[in-house]
Structure 1
């Protein structure tokens, strides 16, 4: 029953992203060309909701669905790390026309070429797993 709830939330989130055009290659292209505020508004809203959510979790000492305390450890504030990671993520997003979440939604809407992007993302994740112990963290 728990999995069904998550599946329904995922389907709802997918519908919202499709209807808001957040999975549209054209909207993503507009964003990278600085021609439209549309995607920046969506991303900014998501950041605001995330900040508010983390603040509420920390302030209210909320527990997970399993009843365990939610512990959010502090992040390592390494500017070069985030610049390199953000650049790689942004290049992949620009080349594929989708970030990780919408890749699956696009497959669900019939854009089967995204399966290649998903395979590439999985290979990249696997490769990172192989070399992560040799990287400065």
Structure 2
């Protein structure tokens, strides 16, 4: 399914985009309050000097895990999309390993992950724009390379 079809499905419910915005805002406020939007705090955590973020991430993971477990076993569908709650399995392949490695190195060098980078902009950290620009450049490069690889693997059409 193409990305356009997915967007059209979600836009069919008038509350979808406003709720996405509210969810993003709550997430951003949580990142700011917990100090996860400050690269220096994240780097302290990654260097095993400050373990406060373990409680933030652990608490968030516990809440998300219990909620996902309960919803996936309830047999209910998502109210805005109508799709059933369930796992989306992804095979562990070379792209997942390489992508995870690049993500981890970028997080370690910048001290911030993509979600927290946007929250960091919201609290006035303009320097993080370099990291955000790098994320966009990396995403563009990944899409370009994936398309080039799929073009090279597909058989040439006879004209």
* TM-score bracket, shorter-length normalisation: 0.7 to 0.9
Asked if residue 103 in structure 1 is aligned to residue 117 in structure 2, the reply is yes
Aligned match of 1:74: 89
For these two proteins, the number of residue pairs brought into alignment is 134
**Higher Cα Rg, which structure:** 2
Aligned match of 2:41: 27
Deviation at 1:127, TM superposition (A): 1.1
Shift of the 114–62 alpha-carbon distance from structure 1 to 2, 3 Å rule, reads farther
Match of 1:132 among 121, 139, 146: 146
Shift of the 53–76 alpha-carbon distance from structure 1 to 2, 3 Å rule, reads farther
Greater relative contact order, per chain length (Cα 8 Å cut-off, separation 6+):
2
Question: Structure 1, unaligned stretches of length 5 or more?
Answer: none
After superposing the two structures, state which structure 1 stretch, 32-41 or 62-71, moved more: 62-71
Question: Structure 2, unaligned stretches of length 5 or more?
Answer: 1-13, 151-159
Give the TM-score normalised by structure 2. Answer: 0.71
CA distance in structure 2 between the aligned counterparts of 1:35 and 1:63, rounded to whole angstroms: 43
Aligned match of 1:8: 22
Matches of residues 15-54 of structure 1 in structure 2 within 5 Å? 15-54=29-68
